Amino acid sequence: MNSIPRTGPALRLPAARAYWVMALLLAAFVVLEGRDIYLQGPRSRFLRNQGSARYSRIIEIPAHRGMILDRNGHPLAISTPVKSVWASPADFRASPDQMAQLSRLLGLPSADIASRLADRALDFVYLKRLMPPQDAQQVAALRIPGVFLQREYRRYYPTGDVAAQLIGFTDVDDKGQEGLELAYQDWLAGKPGSRRVIKDRLGHIVQDVENITAPRKGHDLTLSIDRDIQYLAFRALQNAVVASRAESGSLIVLNAKTGEVLALANLPSFNPNNRDKAAPADTRNRAVTDAAELGSVMKPFTIAAALQAGVITPNTQFQTAPGVMSLDGWTISDAERNGLLTVAQVLQVSSNIGAAKIALRLTPKQQWTMLHAVGFGQIPDTGFPGETAGDMRPYAAWRPIDQATIAHGNGISASLLQLARAYTVFADGGVLMPLSFVKVDSPVQGRRVMSRTVANDVRRMLELVVEPGGTAPDARIPGYTVAGKTGTAHKVRRDGGYARNRYIASFVGMAPASDPRLIVAVALNQPSAGHYYGGEVAAPVFAQVMAASLRRLDVPPDAPSTQAAPPAAAQPAKEAT
């Protein structure tokens, strides 16, 4: 007989317990669904960002800085691609042998590298900036985990020390720090771009996802500088500083028609491509930022003021004997006894007494107004960083002795750049020209500050300075007429007095004098080789630079080619200091 298997009683939950289980399951489902909605809704952006942060990076793409060019397109500053070595401290792993090789390639002690990588919470640490690409590739070849290369740009200056203070330099981030690099930072600097990449856990780029912003190259800057004239100006100044054993020197070449600066040189100089040993003082553009009392180069402006006011004519005579003059308890003297001199002769032999007597025919306001009109006491407004306004006190405080001394360049200070600009009034028929370090392509409008007749009268007087009997026959140039003025000034001490045996020798002039094309200004600070007069140490530098510059620009001669410098036996007139 077949047996039928028996089963136990069916398992049944109490109704209340079933309801509780179903409620808990439903609640869990609701919580999970709510969490899902929350994560994919309000928190979705945060979570995506957190995920991206673990594998996605936005890398900055450096921009190429614009070139600086001379007026003829020759490069004066260019940016070259280089590599920088950086590391992720958390990912850095190097064997002792790798560390030794890395230390050698970077030129850093191993202890220094270890110190930089000590904080493992950092994501990015530079080990070496701006390395040549071939050197950086040797670092990459070590295959050290956590060490990477980054592309950057380094500024290079082909002319080296020749135009260092003028061009300036950039810092390690390729930002202008001095000179025209700083003045035109916004123009030269490009705008960095960016791109998104995916990196693995070691920081290696495994996928280039997208370019977010393309880098924008900086604008090129074309200067007024002529590279060839800059070279010859620098070399001539260098030779003069060495020969005269001067403490420093500056030289400027201007286009008299446009006010463009064709050359500007300073010594001592420095190599902007390697500034490790450069003294801070050597990076200063002395011709623009430093002001000093420059002496008798100021006399033409007092004479121009007197001619403009109608209180003298070029043939008015002044008695300068016996070579000394007392005024307000002070003594004014000439280097030589000259006797009765015309106004033109006062300039030719540079008589302090004659200049003082001319100034005293003016009111302080008349004298000050002329000096102010040609730019003294004012910033030249070239845009060059740190340009000085010099020092010229308000005329209301001037005493007769102040008028007399300012007439021959004491009690008033100016930069060499201000002085060179002021002389454009004699080169351009009474019109003061604005200065520019950038190439000018359109006609330049100056500002008239004196009549054409007065300007031309003074220029003719300045031609006598370089003739035999003047203070600067060494400024003559065969084939060209020259007009200019010497300056020899005692240096001002820190206590306000004048140093007895320390001088600034200067010369500023123009050529061809019949229709000036160029103005050259030279100043030598503290020559100590036995000669210190402007006509002895500065005028020959002027002649050398002016002659070469005129040839460079193909300026036709305006005088007989047989014209020669005076014989060695002929002595220039001694200039009063």
222, 242, 260 - which closes a domain:
222
Same domain, 314 and 352: yes
Phi first, then psi: give them for residue 354, nearest 5 degrees.
-60, -45
Q: Please report, rounded to a whole number, the percentage of residues in the chain having pLDDT higher than 70.
A: 88
Q: Which residue has the higher pLDDT, 22 or 13?
A: 22
Arithmetic mean of pLDDT, 299-303: 98
Same domain, 490 and 535: yes
Same domain, 159 and 244: no
Listed in sequence order, the DSSP H helices in 96-193 are 96-106, 110-116, 133-141, 164-167, 179-183, 185-188
181, 198, 222 - which closes a domain:
222
Amino acid at 447: R
DSSP string, 396-457: GG--HHHHHHHHTTSS-BB-HHHHHHHTHHHHTTTEEPPPBSB---SPPP-EE-S-HHHHHH
Using DSSP's 3-state secondary structure scheme, residue 309 falls into helix
Arithmetic mean of pLDDT, 72-88: 90
Alpha carbon distance 124, 57 (integer Å) = 13
Q: Are 511 and 479 in contact (CB under 8 A)?
A: no
Domain that holds residue 468: 227-271+291-552
pLDDT digits (tens, 9 = 90+) for 235-291: 999 999 999 999 999 999 999 999 999 999 999 999 999 988 889 899 999 999 999
Same domain, 214 and 253: no
Which residues neighbour 414 within 8 Å (Cβ) at sequence distance 6 or greater?
A: 291, 292, 294, 376, 390, 422
Cα–Cα nearest to 142, from 111, 104, 189, 170 = 104
Same domain, 324 and 467: yes
Arithmetic mean of pLDDT, 468-489: 96
User: For 514-547, what is the HEC assignment?
Assistant: CCCCEEEEEEEECCCCCCCCHHHHCHHHHHHHHH
Same domain, 323 and 201: no
pLDDT score of 568:
47
How many structural domains compose the chain?
2
H or E segment and range at residue 227 = helix 227-244
- Would you place residue 63 in the very low, low, confident or very high pLDDT band (cuts 50, 70, 90)? confident
pLDDT score of 349:
96
Does residue 398 lie in a domain region?
yes
Alpha carbon distance 467, 477 (integer Å) = 11
Identify how many contiguous H helices and E strands the chain contains and give both numbers.
Answer: 20, 21
Q: Based on the number of CB atoms within 10 Å of its own CB, is 276 exposed (0-12), middle (13-18) or buried (19 or more)?
A: exposed
pLDDT digits (tens, 9 = 90+) for 511-562: 999 999 999 999 999 999 999 999 999 999 999 999 999 999 999 999 886 5
Does residue 421 lie in a domain region?
yes
Cα–Cα nearest to 174, from 124, 127, 136, 217 = 217
Q: Are 111 and 136 in contact (CB under 8 A)?
A: no
> Is residue 413 annotated as part of the catalytic site, yes or no?
no
Does residue 133 lie in a domain region?
yes
Same domain, 191 and 311: no
CATH number at residue 247: 3.40.710.10
Q: Residue 376 half-sphere exposure, CB side, CA atoms within 13 Å? A: 30
Same domain, 408 and 545: yes
222, 237, 254 - which closes a domain:
222
Beta bridge mates, 511: 518
Does residue 327 lie in a domain region?
yes
Catalytic residue among 296, 351, 413, 506: 296
pTM to 2 decimals?
0.84
**Two tokens, residue 443:** 């006609």
Alpha carbon distance 319, 326 (integer Å) = 14
- Would you place residue 45 in the very low, low, confident or very high pLDDT band (cuts 50, 70, 90)? low
Does residue 568 lie in a domain region?
no
The answer, yes or no, to whether the previous bond of 268 is cis (omega within 30 of 0) is yes
Arithmetic mean of pLDDT, 133-157: 86
pLDDT digits (tens, 9 = 90+) for 428-476: 999 999 999 999 998 899 999 999 999 999 999 999 999 999 999 999 9
Whether pLDDT at 365 is above 70: yes
Helix axes 352-359, 400-407, angle to 10 degrees: 130
CA dihedral 291, 295, 296, 299 (to 10 degrees): 60
Same domain, 304 and 442: yes
Alpha carbon distance 323, 352 (integer Å) = 9
Does residue 49 lie in a domain region?
no
CA dihedral 350, 352, 357, 361 (to 10 degrees): 80
Does residue 5 lie in a domain region?
no
Same domain, 387 and 460: yes
Same domain, 215 and 238: no
Which stretch, 129-133, 196-200, 282-286, has highest mean pLDDT?
282-286
Cα–Cα nearest to 170, from 130, 229, 227 = 130
pLDDT digits (tens, 9 = 90+) for 81-117: 888 888 888 778 888 888 888 889 888 898 888 888 8
CATH number at residue 154: 3.90.1310.10
Using DSSP's 3-state secondary structure scheme, residue 130 falls into strand
pLDDT score of 27:
76
Same domain, 548 and 422: yes
Dihedral sign computed on CA atoms, order 297, 422, 478, 457: negative
Alpha carbon distance 130, 124 (integer Å) = 16
Q: Are 430 and 454 in contact (CB under 8 A)?
A: yes
Does residue 126 lie in a domain region?
yes
